Amino acid sequence: MNRRAAAPLLLLPLLLAPLGAGAETINPRQEYRTCLQLARQKPEDGWEEAIAWTSLGGGEPARHCAAVALIGLGKLEEAARRLEALAQQSRGTEGLRAEMLAQAAQAWLLAGKVELALADLDTGLGLVPNQPDLLLDKAVAMAQAAHYKEVVEVLTTLLKIQPNRVEAMVLRGSAYRYLDKLELAKDDIARALVLDNDLPDAL
């Protein structure tokens, strides 16, 4: 083969590659983490970041980031619907889908739609049974609906998994108070204060 002819052939892959392919340096996982953090802390900036990332082919992670940003922007029902749709369509892990549902539930709670929040949390717990954070979220939602007996049941399950979960003790103690089970309430609050004596919510 003629050596002069070979050189241009070796360059063909570079010439045929999309312009800017070599300049693309986005790390998808890092971008995902960064965008979600921005969406929570500075939702307007997070929204803009998510939209820009979507235009670059960010796909599901970019849409997830945008939905989280909408919570901070006060567009609660839209955020919840987007997160529910993402959880249903996602090819991610069950844990990720459950996290999306927990975020949807948060949006519904902020919008005052407790039953919709509980439905999402139950779906999430169907994906990852007895996941402690989801159990705590469910207990918070039930407390908001004044279902104190159910709050106690859910938090008792949680405390069997994480015996030193202070937030769970405080919330269960509060639920016991509403149920007029004052000794049990005192026990939970006292134990919570032993673990965290600076805990204002326990007083």
Contact 32, 10 (CB under 8 A): no
Please report whether residue 196 resides in a domain.
Answer: yes
Please report whether residue 195 resides in a domain.
Answer: yes
d(C-alpha 70, C-alpha 146), whole Å: 28
Question: Which pair of structure tokens corresponds to residue 55?
Answer: 């235009």
How many structural domains is the chain composed of? Answer: 1
**Is residue 18 over pLDDT 50?**
no
The pLDDT tens digits for 158-202 are 999 999 999 999 999 999 999 999 999 999 999 999 999 887 654
d(C-alpha 95, C-alpha 115), whole Å: 22
Which pLDDT value is given to residue 36?
Answer: 93
Please report whether residue 172 resides in a domain.
Answer: yes
Please report whether residue 17 resides in a domain.
Answer: no
CATH number at residue 201: 1.25.40.10
Please report whether residue 102 resides in a domain.
Answer: no
Average pLDDT over residues 92-99: 96
SS (H, E, C) 14-68: HHHCCCCCCCCCCCHHHHHHHHHHHHHHCHHHHHHHHHHHHHCCCHHHHHHHHHH
Measured between its terminal Cα atoms, the distance across the chain in Å is 86
Please report whether residue 71 resides in a domain.
Answer: no
Q: Which domain holds residue 202?
A: 130-203
The pLDDT tens digits for 44-84 are 999 999 999 999 999 999 999 999 999 999 999 999 999 99
Nearest-10 Cα torsion for 44, 121, 175, 146: 80
